[in-house]
Amino acid sequence: MSETNETPVLVRYEAEDGVATLTLDSPANRNALSSTLVAQLHDGLRRAAADPGVRVVVLGHTGNTFCAGADLSEATSGPVDPEGPVAGRARALAGLLRAIVELPKPVVAAVDGHVRAGGMGLVAACDLAVAGEAATFALTEARLGVAPSIISLTVLPRLGSAAASRLFLTGEKFDAGDAAELGLITAAASDVPAAVAELVGLLRQGSPQGLAESKKLLTAPVLAAFDARADALASASARLFASDEAREGMTAFLQRRPPSWAE
């Protein structure tokens, strides 16, 4: 992880041979969705969208975690007013997920590490996703006193109702094979780079217009849900994160102890 003008670079951008690779590079906090990481990832997506030479975007990561979800240290350090910074972070995440969904170029997630909570929203927002043997997944929000509010906009369309009920409520962990069977990801693979390269090769056979218009057909229901519900879900998320129960859940997690309701 490098620094420029004292601002840490948490998302690296590289473009080569028509592929823009955005790499989450904040392993110290397990690529958590800090305000800085969210803003830099959003900037990278804008950069890829504006570059006519970019045909496909690949979203990858460093370290053994793709994304741990919300940055709990950030979430517990600021004011608890749900109309303040908490709401701003919720709306920024909603904007980021929408940017992935409506990007007029295919986005492929390359996952070979753990995916938790908000990280599940990132994976589900991508058009295609490949996960390796080191990948594990879980929606852990309920265990922290919150809910997968905003990410439900991208996660729920990938899951059947029975699977969604179990995963949202239990917070249990599952592997890449399970994720593929549930429809959360495109494929489980022993060699993630090779599998991603194969998908990228297939995508590059499509024309830019053909890919963009085909993606519109696929994402129209998700974008309609964003239009109808994103603001309300962001407010609900901010209210939950500012609650005493969530503060206890997040603090307990950071202190590696059971929360009060689990003792």
Give, to the nearest 10 degrees, the angle between helix 35-50 and helix 85-102. 30
Residue 19 CA to residue 242 CA, distance in Å, equals 40
Q: Count how many residues are written for the chain.
A: 263
**Domains annotated on the chain, with CATH:** 3-192 (3.90.226.10)
* Location of structure tokens 């350090």: 77
When the pLDDT of each residue in the chain is averaged and rounded to a whole number, the result is 94
pLDDT of residue 75: 72
* Location of structure tokens 């990278």: 44
Give 53-67 pLDDT, tens digit per residue: 999 999 999 999 999
Is 141 a known active-site residue?
yes
At residue 81, does pLDDT exceed 80? Answer: no
At residue 1, does pLDDT exceed 70? Answer: no
At residue 263, does pLDDT exceed 80? Answer: no
Element (H, E) at 71: none
Residue 258 CA to residue 243 CA, distance in Å, equals 18
Instruction: State both tokens at 151.
Output: 């990410």
Give 207-229 pLDDT, tens digit per residue: 999 999 999 999 999 999 999 99
pLDDT of residue 74: 83
End-to-end, the C-alpha distance of the chain in Å comes to: 38
Residue 102 CA to residue 125 CA, distance in Å, equals 9
At residue 72, does pLDDT exceed 90? Answer: no
At residue 32, does pLDDT exceed 90? Answer: yes
Q: How would DSSP label each residue in 213-262?
A: HHHHHHHHHHHHHHHHHHHHHHHHHHHHHTSHHHHHHHHHHHTTS--GGG
3 state SS of 153: helix
Active-site choice (14, 141, 245, 248):
141
What confidence tier does 2 reach under pLDDT thresholds 50, 70, 90?
very low
What is the rounded average pLDDT of the residues 135-151?
97
What confidence tier does 200 reach under pLDDT thresholds 50, 70, 90?
very high
pLDDT of residue 113: 97
pLDDT of residue 5: 58
Residue 28 CA to residue 80 CA, distance in Å, equals 25
At residue 161, does pLDDT exceed 60? Answer: yes
Q: Output the CA–CA distances (angstroms, integers) from residue 56 to 43, 105, 153, 203, in the order listed.
A: 16, 6, 23, 7
State how beta strands 56-61 and 65-67 pair.
Answer: unpaired
Q: How far is CA 136 from the centre of its chain?
A: 14
At residue 235, does pLDDT exceed 70? Answer: yes
At residue 103, does pLDDT exceed 80? Answer: yes
pLDDT of residue 86: 78
Q: How would DSSP label each residue in 9-59?
A: --EEEEEETTEEEEEE--GGGTT-B-HHHHHHHHHHHHHHHH-TT--EEEE
pLDDT of residue 138: 98
